[in-house]
Structure 1
Amino acid sequence: MNTTPLPDTTSVAIVGAGPAGLTAAITLADAGVDFVLLDRLAEGANTSRAAVVHARTLEVLEELGIAEELVSKGLVVPRFTLHDGARTLATVRFDGLPTQFPYTLMVPQDTTEEVLLARLRKAGGDVHRPYQVTRVVDENGCATIEYTDASGAAGSLRADYVIGADGMHSVVREQAGIGFTGDTYPASFVLADVRMTWPIPRDEVALHLSPEGVTVVAPLPDAAEPNRYRVVATVDEAPEHPTRDDIQAILDTRGPGGGIEVAEVLWSSRFRVHHRVADHYRAGRLFLAGDAAHVHSPAGGQGMNTGIQDAATLGPLLARVLTGEPPALLDTYETTRRPIALDVVTFTDRMTRMATLTPRPARALRNLALTTATRIPRIRTALAYRLSELANR
């Protein structure tokens, strides 16, 4: 943790040191741009949260020189499958995609952040913690950030530009007056990392469709915790900290049957899921990236990936303008990235609604449509492109 006092001025202030904020900072450090990266938390992520890194994101991280290291810490998964009970409806393979990374990489978010932070420090940067941003204003030819530090003392920082990578409840977005259009799913979500016996091979991510709700089970790297899996499931009212019995009941009801035995819950939480996109990605000198700009269903594991790609686009654009290129270049950030977020939100919303159909006739029709459509190679390839985010190139 960097507890040194913040400077009075900088070229770019980045609020939020999650994956998007760290990525933006790396691109600026590599370009020789002065920046300050600050975060309200005293330490970085120590839970896994997002756990999927897709092919397109690995391509972006390869440009930063860290994809190989991240892959070495993760689990390569070449398949995505859809199930209804014991029946497999569709299999989407990534191993035929034209990329250096023809797979999904399962790796906990705290590991991804560790790799990004080490890369940032190698480039000469760091995170300043804990600083709570209280006000952001664009006036008099610069942006001013007001904050409080760990002791509660107030301070301010002037910047040419500000990147709000500070999550769904973004202070930067609120202070910029940018709307966050969308809605909230009625169900709550269970999120848990568990050790368990699971009958599906560890080289696939499985999406289980059920009238009780959608459930995703994905293998995680298990060097320290054998047979470790991520479970994400919709429930009407999730307990604050789902227990082993809660997860066992979900998988017994919705899973493929067979020998499912949850041995231990390593970490669990609950959350509400929104599907929202910021009305704009820019307000003058203030920009949004990651969850500050878009949030959506975890179906498909697109969230963190889209945020990293946002930052990898925005950072170099700011660097180019700060070294003399026309400021109008910054308008291309929104025109490039916001349509992608809208598309991701639409796609994940359709997946979620399709997965949670309740009436038996609708489920039967859905299952028939899925099995029929995914027999067509062109459709399977299109789904693989969409899930891997290679369509965002």
Structure 2
Amino acid sequence: MLPDTTEVLIIGAGPTGMALSIMLHQAGVDHVLIDKLAQGLQTSRAGVIHAQTLEALQPLGVTERLDELALKLQNFAIRDRNRALLNLDFGKLPSRHPYLLMLPQNLTEQVFAERIAALGSVIHREVEAKAVVQDADGARVTVAEDGRETLISARYVVGADGMNSLVRSATGIEFDGAAYDGSFVLADVRLDWPVGPKEVSLFFAQAGLVVVAPLPDGSYRIVATMDDAPEKPGIADIQALLDSRGPTSRRARVLDLAWSSRFRVHHRLVRSYRKDRLFLMGDAAHVHSPAGGQGMNTGIIDAVVLGELLGDVVNGVRVEAELDLYETLRRPAAQEVLELAGRMTHMALTRNPVKRFVRNLLLSLMNLNPLLKRRMALKLSGLSRAPLARLPAPSRVPGSIAPSKPAAKPALKLAA
């Protein structure tokens, strides 16, 4: 049963909402997590977890299980058909997690959901937020469950409810940016793949961009631009994408298609992450091209930072004004991610022969410079943005004694 009051109401139980729920539970903060869907994703969507994200997730008790379920890769390459322009080695990252962790988003969400259950918390599904109103003391959210509308009063409300966020609409905060031309194709396929299963490959071809990334079950994630993609791209569509953009020395062959979809990509960033008692995170705050696999990772770290801040404020460790640190840290991080993904997408979509030649030359020269290659790997892994996820020491509330936080429970073991 839904409570009618809570300290924090989280709207949206994707990876960001669930990560925030785990943080708040471990801090002993009363909260409610709702989602309008009956169940989590059954398709894979995001497919990579980067080193900075794994480090941020360590206190949540999920990193070990994510490691067990995933495929660990060290190699990332930018290619122009048969030619490797830039090879990056993630095995040399200065991290406890020197690799790209390849794991479909539905499995990431499963690990998070099982962790929530192990902590004794719950995801309230098939509960849709309909309206959000706030005043000086908190916020009131109208929710619909089983055809009946009720009110939940919360001290804080967090919108983890995606690009079309109800919470963002309630704040009135502008979501600056635009949509990319054309559409993107996303698919998981079985492949006879000449590059092999040990590299994530980003192909720059005159026809457009295609990413081919191995997944732990032996399938491959395909992400590609397509001017007029069908709603459900078929095997022939994926084969045509690889024929026109992938290697030519030995042709890739699509053997089977698990699932596919078409989507539009935007590059947008909110002007503010907070309006009084309403907060935004994940896709509600920033969206961008999938190039570099940064979206889910950036949102998860939003959740970890905001979770620590809300926990400290509710527990009396920080004054409420320190909630402004959330935007101070996370908006610049999102701005960097948008610029990185945007540059990679722009480079990939360049069709002018002269610009393509210059691009390929610059990437080849970068490939000869270990310092530049390391810098690029740090950007893609998120480690270069680690300071933007690190909170300063709290300013104690005068005369208060901060309660101790409950220790995190051990990571849950799931069936593979």
The one of 200, 203, 206 aligned to 1:208: 203
The one of 308, 311, 316 aligned to 2:303: 311
Distance 2:28 2:120 in 1: 10
Offset of residue 63 of structure 1: 1.9
Q: Match of 2:59, as an amino acid?
A: E
Q: Does residue 387 of the first structure (1) align with residue 380 of the second (2)?
A: yes
Distance 1:277 1:140 in 2: 26
Q: Match of 2:25, as an amino acid?
A: A
**Local SS of the residue matching 1:372:** helix
**Local SS of the residue matching 2:211:** strand
Query: Could you tell me which residue of structure 1 aligns to residue 241 of structure 2?
Result: 250
The one of 336, 345, 348 aligned to 2:338: 345
Q: In percent, how many aligned pairs have the same letter?
A: 49
Alpha-carbon displacement from aligned partner over 1:308-360 (angstroms, at most 9, x marks no partner): 00000001100111112210110000000000001100110010000111011
Give the conservation status (yes or no) of the 8 Å contact 1:137–1:176.
no
Query: Could you tell me which residue of structure 1 aligns to residue 257 of structure 2?
Result: 265
The one of 35, 55, 58 aligned to 1:59: 55
Query: Could you tell me which residue of structure 2 aligns to residue 125 of structure 1?
Result: 121
Q: TM-score, normalised by structure 2?
A: 0.91
Distance 2:371 2:196 in 1: 25
Give unpaired runs (5+ residues) of structure 1: none
Query: Any residues of structure 2 matched to 1:140-179 within 5 Å, and which?
Result: 140-149=136-145, 151-179=146-174
Distance 1:15 1:54 in 2: 25
**Local SS of the residue matching 2:186:** strand
**Local SS of the residue matching 1:141:** coil
Offset of residue 201 of structure 1: 2.3
**Local SS of the residue matching 2:180:** strand
Query: Could you tell me which residue of structure 2 aligns to residue 85 of structure 1?
Result: 81
**Local SS of the residue matching 1:95:** helix
Q: Match of 1:264, as an amino acid?
A: D
Q: TM-score, normalised by structure 1?
A: 0.97
Q: Match of 1:279, as an amino acid?
A: R
Distance 2:285 2:23 in 1: 19
The one of 312, 319, 331 aligned to 2:324: 331
Offset of residue 374 of structure 1: 2.3
Query: Could you tell me which residue of structure 1 aligns to residue 403 of structure 2?
Result: none
**Local SS of the residue matching 1:6:** coil
CA root-mean-square deviation: 0.8
Distance 1:152 1:79 in 2: 50
Q: Match of 1:323, as an amino acid?
A: N
**Local SS of the residue matching 2:183:** strand
Distance 2:378 2:243 in 1: 32
Alpha-carbon displacement from aligned partner over 1:2-22 (angstroms, at most 9, x marks no partner): xxx211100000000000000
Alpha-carbon displacement from aligned partner over 1:201-235 (angstroms, at most 9, x marks no partner): 2111000001211100000011xxxx400000001
**Local SS of the residue matching 1:47:** coil
Offset of residue 97 of structure 1: 1.0
Offset of residue 61 of structure 1: 1.6
The one of 14, 26, 29 aligned to 1:30: 26
Give unpaired runs (5+ residues) of structure 2: 387-416
Offset of residue 140 of structure 1: 4.5
The count of aligned residue pairs is 384
